[in-house]
Structure 1
């Protein structure tokens, strides 16, 4: 996941070399791109929970059905995004966030490509979830690392036109992403077939079953909504910040890329601990559950504390990677230092929230996510923006995370009494 996070940063670093408008355009595309991941990732969480629990209960037919049906569902979602792009969804979406023709062109170009070819992302996420569900996280690490490395290599080649390739600008960044995801998905498929004996591939497991789909989405829909809430949040933040300047929007986009270097490993830890918790929940091994949860919380908190230290000490250096202008430096240094205050709290919330998904209590995670990102963060950001100072807006992040931690602890105590 560290390599995956590095690829997210490097991708934007290369785009930023084109222009601030290109960086802003890609930033405006992020909410839709994140929503596509939400559908695949949330469905994957549902697959993960059902498959692991079925294996723990030794119901192997149900485990196979979860794997096969999950693959079909994610492919159907990819085709839906492709159709939406052909109907002009990308341009319409970018157009709701900016009136600048250059930013609109760059954002539409990037988003159209990733929507049409989203099957690579869907396949990678789903197939990697199957490996995680059966405890084969080492192979997931290989596929993610390979996809990210290929993307990092192809980015400058396709953006700037090296080694005989035409210079494609932001389109090159999109194609490089698709190539990396598709190769990673192919390798994940090979690993599942050759290295994952817990899943028995046959044509019958791909036949959709109402009960299997229901069980996948019982856990998956709240997870989809939780991730999709992030899309709504970033979309609304873009709208709030655009009142100040497009540079403020670009700073927000840069922050989201930089924070992924610390958040992605924590989310990876979360994905890895969910099947462990779900398996031992099915096997009724409470001691193992407590041990896994303690490890996850401690490691997540440590990673996020490190993130806070980095953001506080060298914000200018981080922004310099993105060819930041004087205005971007002025806004960005303050933004990174204020927002980073909430990192340790976020680490605790993410790690503790893993048990909600593993125990099929995803509704708790949904309520927490809604509270943090929509009911607190956006209203707080809007109210703070009325002060007329963009630097004040960033305090909405620590405020929202404090509320999130309070909700997490409340639900955690409630769950402890129930199980």
Structure 2
């Protein structure tokens, strides 16, 4: 592998650079999403459709704790990208050391609390009726591995901030492949059921952590931290917190969304509707991988060039990222509008679930072609260190629009109202984000520097 330097972020052509950054990110997200997708198929076919709903109950809790690591990672990586762009290597090292300490302290504490209050948390997130027992099995085991997942998510963003997307891609691929292999062994061969699915997931988190630890100890990383860098620096912690809170708030809203969705759908249609949502949610994770890859590839490019005051390149990166992401989102839209029923049948043989899910899927993805503006717009403000607008724009879709809509629309349209809330919130949040992004480009990035 050719040696890659963070300085490439400020010199290579934007189109080529975005592809170089986004393709490994997309592949990594694809493999991770395929892992979640195939994992759900395995569980549905080998354990049962209720097991799919059980995992859907657990994921928002475990992912929220893991998102602490992602939040610290993205917040700190924004600082690291800009510090490397401004050749402030000491700050980059201190930031990374602080990221490690914060991730360990917070995620271990949260995992312990999550285990102490397991029963009440599972019920709150929709783990009712036949869903409760398999959800508790999965939840308890997976939470043991969540701190490792948090460290992986934090480390992955730092690797990308260094301008080494291929290593970040491998970090996402390794646990995904290992999880699928362990799923097959534990569920299909050894017949461990939900215990097998949970242990396969937890062990794969540890394998991922081992790889990321190797990367930072190897010659490939520019960030060679020492013991003094682990000492928490209040100003760095505040900066990490203000920027990372954007990601944490987004994941918190995602978790709250799952809470509302699982409970509302359980009341409207029981386990079948919760399972239908679980399948659609997996497709949201999987189908959007190329768009999310563009967004991930865009972050270090925008952050580095903003830190170097090269605003022309920042503008160009915004336009190029939106163009590429919109094209890919449109392709996703076409596929899911044409083939929702065959996709549903991959997950389950339950005829009622197969009957309900395709219509829901079409509603959920109806506004997909326009969402690139919202994703790239919110990512821009986070990349350049503008925490408040990044937070507000990140929360527009699910926090300001989607949650109120799923509380209001079902009163008039029943279960259909739940699915209608998806495209309506997509359109509204895109309009808001587009307005603020356009204003920012006109005011802040109008000077042609660099």
TM-score (norm 1): 0.94
Alpha-carbon offset, residue 80 of structure 1: 1.2
1:266-296, Cα deviation, whole Å (9 max, x unpaired): 2233222211111111111122212222221
Say whether residues 1:11 and 2:35 are aligned partners: no
Residue 225 of structure 2: SS of its match in structure 1?
coil
CA contact 2:125–2:258 (8 Å) conserved in 1: no
Correspondences of 1:52-63 after superposition (within 5 Å) = 52-63=81-92
Q: CA deviation at 1:378?
A: 2.2
Map of 1:248 onto structure 2? 273
Comparing 409-418 with 128-137, greater Cα deviation is found at: 409-418
Q: Does 1:48 align with 2:77?
A: yes
What is the rounded CA distance, in whole Å, between the counterparts of 2:58 and 2:79 in structure 1? 32
Structure 2 residue aligned with 1:184: 208
Is 1:205 matched up with 2:233? no
1:340–1:174: structure 2 CA closer, same or farther, 3 Å change rule? same
Q: Is the 8 A contact 1:63 1:199 kept in 2?
A: yes
> What is the Cα deviation at residue 414 of structure 1?
3.0
2:109 aligned to which of 80, 86, 89? 80
**Match of residue 347, structure 2, among 294, 306, 322:** 322
Distance 1:24 1:173 in 2: 14
Alignment of 1:251-270 (within 5 A): 251-270=276-295
Counterparts in 2 of 1:15-414, with a 5 A limit? 15-17=43-45, 18-87=47-116, 89-98=117-126, 100-160=128-188, 162=189, 165=190, 167-245=191-269, 246-387=271-412, 389-414=414-439
Distance in 2 (CA, whole Å) between partners of 1:98 and 1:286 is: 47
Displacement after TM superposition at 1:195 (Å): 3.9
In structure 2, relative to structure 1, the CA distance for the partners of 1:75 and 1:343 (3 Å cut) is same
**Cα distance, 1:100–1:57 mapped onto 2, change above 3 Å:** closer
Contact 1:242 1:249 in 2 (8 A): yes
Deviation at 1:182, TM superposition (A): 1.5
The more displaced of 342-351 and 133-142 is 342-351
Query: What's the CA shift for 1:169?
Result: 1.5
Kept after mapping to 2: 8 A contact 1:266/1:351: no
Q: Distance in 2 between matches of 1:390 and 1:353?
A: 30
Given that residues 55 and 279 in structure 1 are in contact (C-alpha distance below 8 angstroms), is that contact kept between their aligned partners in structure 2? Answer: yes
Partners of 2:211 and 2:323 lie apart in 1 by 32
Gaps of 5+ in 1: none
TM-score, L = length of structure 2:
0.88
Distance (Å, rounded) in 1 between the aligned partners of 2:432 and 2:212: 37
